[in-house]
Chains A and B, each alone.
Chain A
């Protein structure tokens, strides 16, 4: 039985991703055609043998709850342990650092009741495929109080510590003035022994539209794809009963990821296409991210555009962003051709 309790802090509001988080928390932003951000950390935990995972959401968590459901898709619908969803009891003071003690304190009983000795605390906006068991082994060998997972010099904002220490930090937060795990890890004015574990795989920190766009495009590099979607450590997600993707006689698709249920009649290059997307005849979609159920009409030209879910781009529309500033079309929006007077 795993000694680790998994905690996903999904409370963080990422300013830079605002266009994509109007109706959802960052944890449930679609990524790679068929996933949501949280799928990666949740799958990392499950693949590392973690049997008990607590999710702490805050902002706009309806879509996150809908996505996670009972946890069945991650094999976390268990009689013992499994998945726990802890909505906020009240609004604590804004605090956007990972592992907020005020927030965890709301459900401190959960930590006290759990039998696991160690806690792995992660955020939901860093995407990678990491072996947490190995990180725990390092943590134990070096006898750190807190181990921070790093990728070279960058913090993954994921931490391992003893559960008893976490409870102590939470209970003493008013006197210690530490507000979160990341706060403790970043400060030096204490006696805790903070170690690091270096993770070598691909890491995507999603903190702006630009980083979201660039990391999405990285997926088209097969070595990145392999690092994130290794078959020994699969990424699980909510399954949808979509049929296979359908390509028409006219379709031209190159260097792209295409999810199930899509119908492609136009040209697609260097793009990420999600489930049940439709791309009309004569359309050109280049360097774009198209989320679930969006429809692109005939003879449209789209470059450097991110289409959120259920967007309608009507026939003949041309939309262009730039590599540095991709254009974002908000969920459910409709774009039609400008009528010339």
Chain B
């Protein structure tokens, strides 16, 4: 086996419970995003664009869709003879099934996968964020600074800093302290959940952490403090650019709306840093003579006869005559009937919205409606009555 310089471990087991019905049957990284993609496409595309060709994807919660979506990784050019993408679900040992009890534990349980490639560095990623990043630059930074661990950080507004894991640094960007959701933050550099470790140290600390019964086996809470307490050199890698956690209905909606700006922070049209995905192979979209589509993204296979304003429309969506869609995210194969109104809402996959209904937040509310089967059933009854 050819030794790898860097192996990526992508944590994709998150349930994403704050996305409610969007994640009842799929894991958060598999949630559709941006008219065509799934959330995990951004991290996988970053890997391939950064020339990292060995990626272990750790899955746990509702893995069926995610596993079949990743397949052998061809969509991201990660079907490689040596390396490529490997899906790593929890497995049974002689002593019994061990679920991943934390992010660090998930990596610990797959140490044999990493050992197989015997890399010098391990890149730990999460499959929950929307961003474009060249990990090879972060690795160069890690090597140049002779760090034992490097954590990517992003400046967040001071008034929001208490929502994040904050890295306190000295003037050389060395990390002196990690504070998870501090009430009184001393810094506004938030951890992006992207870590590079020298494998020999990570291995040592994962083993130490594993036998510590008081540990929650979490990277931020447990592993980073181990490095800090041992006086290891931890560097913060400042990232500039678009980065968004899409963990809630509101933030998922916002991140979709961000794509519709005149000059979006995250440009999907940049051919030098393409975002790859499993292409759905649907026919070319059709806009009828009654259609009005503005400030929107629309994917293949759509059939649009209504009015669409400032919305993100995924593949295979049908929008009927006289219907008005505004500030909405309509996921694959949803069917919206005629003369309906859908505003400030997320319409999940394959939902059918009947003719003549109105779905919008109450006057003045900044709420985003997540349409559910139950809601649609109720509306259908109301229309009949």
Contacts and interface: CB of A to CB of B under 8 A. Distances in A.
A239 B36 CA distance: 13
A247 B298 contact: yes
Interface stretch (A11-19, A185-193, A258-266): A258-266
Nearest to B310: A249
Nearest to B298: A245
A241 B293 contact: no
B297 A229 contact: no
A261 B269 contact: yes
B292 A32 contact: no
A255 B279 contact: no
Interface string A227-254: 0110000111101110111111111111
A144 B129 CA distance: 62
A106 to B, nearest CB: 33
Contact of A263 (B35, B269, B276, B299): B269
B279 A247 contact: no
B289 A257 contact: no
Given A237-B281, A245-B285, A259-B284, A252 B268 contact: no
Contacts of B312: 244
Given A220-B286, A245-B298, A239 B279 contact: yes
* Majority secondary structure of chain A interface residues (helix, strand, loop or mixed): loop
B297 A252 contact: no
B279 A248 contact: no
Contact of A225 (B276, B283, B293): B283
A241 B286 contact: no
A256 interface: yes
B291 interface: yes
Interface in B283-317: 283-300, 303, 312-314
A57 interface: no
Contacts of B269: 243, 246, 261, 263
A106 B293 CA distance: 53
Nearest to A220: B286
A297 interface: no
Interface string A38-71: 0000000000000000000000000000000000
A1 B122 CA distance: 47
B274 interface: yes
Interface residues of B, number: 34
B293 A247 contact: yes
A326 to B, nearest CB: 19
A189 B74 CA distance: 53
Contact of B295 (A244, A247, A257): A247
B322 to A, nearest CB: 15
B275 interface: yes
Contacts of B127: none
A33 interface: yes
A41 B274 CA distance: 31
Interface residues of A, number: 38
A282 B57 CA distance: 47
A103 interface: no
Contacts of A248: 294-295
Contacts of A257: 284-286
Contacts of B275: 241, 243
A191 to B, nearest CB: 45
B34 interface: yes
B230 to A, nearest CB: 44
A243 B297 contact: yes
B338 interface: no
Contacts of A113: none
B294 A251 contact: yes
B54 interface: no
Contact of A247 (B36, B276, B296): B296
B277 A222 contact: no
B277 A241 contact: yes
A165 to B, nearest CB: 36
- In this complex, the member of B274, B275, B287, B296 whose beta carbon has the largest number of chain A beta carbons within 10 angstroms is B287
- In this complex, the member of B284, B291, B303, B312 whose beta carbon has the largest number of chain A beta carbons within 10 angstroms is B284
A263 B263 CA distance: 13
A33 B284 contact: yes
Given A245-B298, A255-B288, A260-B300, A229 B283 contact: yes
A255 B294 contact: no
Nearest to B297: A244
B292 A252 contact: yes
Contacts of B290: 254
Contacts of B298: 244-245, 247, 258
A131 to B, nearest CB: 19
A34 interface: yes
A112 B303 CA distance: 47
B34 A222 contact: no
Given A243-B269, A244-B298, A245-B298, A251 B284 contact: no
Contacts of A245: 285, 297-299
B283 A247 contact: no
A255 B288 CA distance: 4
B284 A258 contact: yes
Nearest to A251: B294
B287 A256 contact: yes
13 contacts: A73-B281, A225-B283, A236-B281, A241-B275, A243-B275, A244-B298, A246-B269, A247-B298, A253-B293, A255-B289, A258-B298, A260-B36, A260-B299
Given A245-B297, A255-B287, 9 more contacts: A222-B303, A225-B283, A241-B274, A241-B279, A243-B36, A250-B294, A258-B284, A259-B284, A259-B285
Interface of A: 32-34, 72-73, 220, 222, 225, 228-229, 234-237, 239-241, 243-261, 263, 272
Interface of B: 34-36, 74, 268-269, 274-277, 279, 281, 283-300, 303, 312-314
Top 5 closest pairs, chain A to chain B, by CB: A33-B284, A244-B35, A239-B279, A243-B268, A229-B283
